[in-house]
Amino acid sequence: MSSQLFTPLTIKDVTLDNRIVVSPMGQYAGDGQGNATDWHLMHLGNLAVSAAGLVIVEASAVEARGRVSRFDLGLWTDKNAEALEPVLGFCRKHGNCKWGIQLAHGGRKGGVSVAWEGQLPLSSEEGGWPIVSPSAIPYPGRAMPVALDADGLREIRNAFVAAAERAHWLGFDLLEIHNAHGYLLHSFLTPFANQRQDTYGGDLENRMRFPLEVFSAVRDVWPESKPLGVRLSVTDWAEGGWTTEDSVVFARRLRDLGCDYVTASSGGATPDQQISIGPGYQIPLGEAIKREVDIVTMGVGLITEPKHAEEIIANGRVDLVALGRGMLFNPRWAWHAAFELGGQVSIARPYERSHPAMQSGDFLKPKLD
């Protein structure tokens, strides 16, 4: 039987060649003003020939204070978009992947040093900035955020819209809103960060209000023909936090507003989370969403073995599998998976001879597949 991992998937007018996605991964390699650098050319250029169906560019801040580190990528100025344009052009010239980008706001987890320097709060002398959140409740070990008022909420909603317009100008095929990992939009959902007394806090309906408003505003400007998705922390993995049942309600509301897919991630709202980590540990969360809500679902988290990815897709547990660290470790993962599972991928002509079927053969054989 042929591989299901290597079957195409069409979402709106965009067809992905296979079910393999490169998960968004912050590189902390911007220039300090949200602009892409030559690191991005190398990093994304490498992934452009990965043969993944979709590459989602890292969390990109919608405003400067929405960065997690100083060196996050951003889309808050036209200059940011102009810096990314040649990178994307280069990637498209040399590869066949579809391209998405993730829009993000770090909220109360922003303003810290880069990952390999421990994500410690930055003082103003170190280039730090005031951070914002639904309520003035710090994430443990981080700076005290300022609670957003009505003007602040409007500003951030508008910043998501402007960044989405820039993503469209850049020609991205797909857009993802980062609503996970304890960052701003997830902070509205979770009682750990949201203790507001107004219509944006309190019961589930109120806590969903701002993320849903942002989603709707972005949907209004992002073309109907192109997929718009949301990454969720499906559960906070902690007593008193956001739950899988809440995520089912939220995903249904998102779908009704025109959301085309959700990615089932988890955690990030509290250091007290209790997660049991192992291969595919978040797939049951994706299954729970897919079972209850009629929406395309992406699974992610420690999927490293081709046969495991194949089992997940073949059994319809989720519709797409995203790989993060596994792709950094082996950017040709999809080639190897295709070889192992009998799937077809498009290999750039200059690299064709690397394929095991051609290593002992004649270089002038017809193109594989």
Ligand X SMILES: Cc1cc2nc3c(=O)[nH]c(=O)nc-3n(C[C@H](O)[C@H](O)[C@H](O)COP(=O)(O)O)c2cc1C
The residues annotated as belonging to the active site are 183
Which is closer to ligand X, CB of 201 or CB of 301? 301
Specify the residue, 108 or 196, whose C-beta has the smaller distance to ligand X. Answer: 108
Minimum CB distance to ligand X, residue 209 (Å): 22
CA 69 to chain centre: 17
Which residue is closest to ligand X by CB? 324
Count CB-CB contacts under 10 A for residue 141.
11
* CA quadruple 33, 34, 40, 45: dihedral, nearest 10: -140
What burial letters (b/e) apply to 309-343, b meaning 16+ CB within 10 Å? bbebbbeebbbbbbbbebbbeebbbbbebbeebeb
Q: Which residues face 98 on adjacent strands?
A: 54
Q: What is the DSSP letter of 143?
A: P
d(CA 318, CA 157): 30
Q: Quick one: CA torsion of 101, 103, 109, 113, rounded to 10 degrees? A: 50
Contacts with ligand X by CB under 6 A lie at 23-26, 58-59, 102, 178, 180, 231, 265, 300-303, 323-326
CB of 28 to ligand X, least distance (A): 8
**In terms of CB distance, is 22 or 91 closer to ligand X?**
22
Q: What angle do CA 107, 239, 282 make, to 5 degrees?
A: 70
Q: 100 or 145: whose CB is closer to ligand X?
A: 100
Distance in Å, CB of 281 to ligand X, minimum: 9
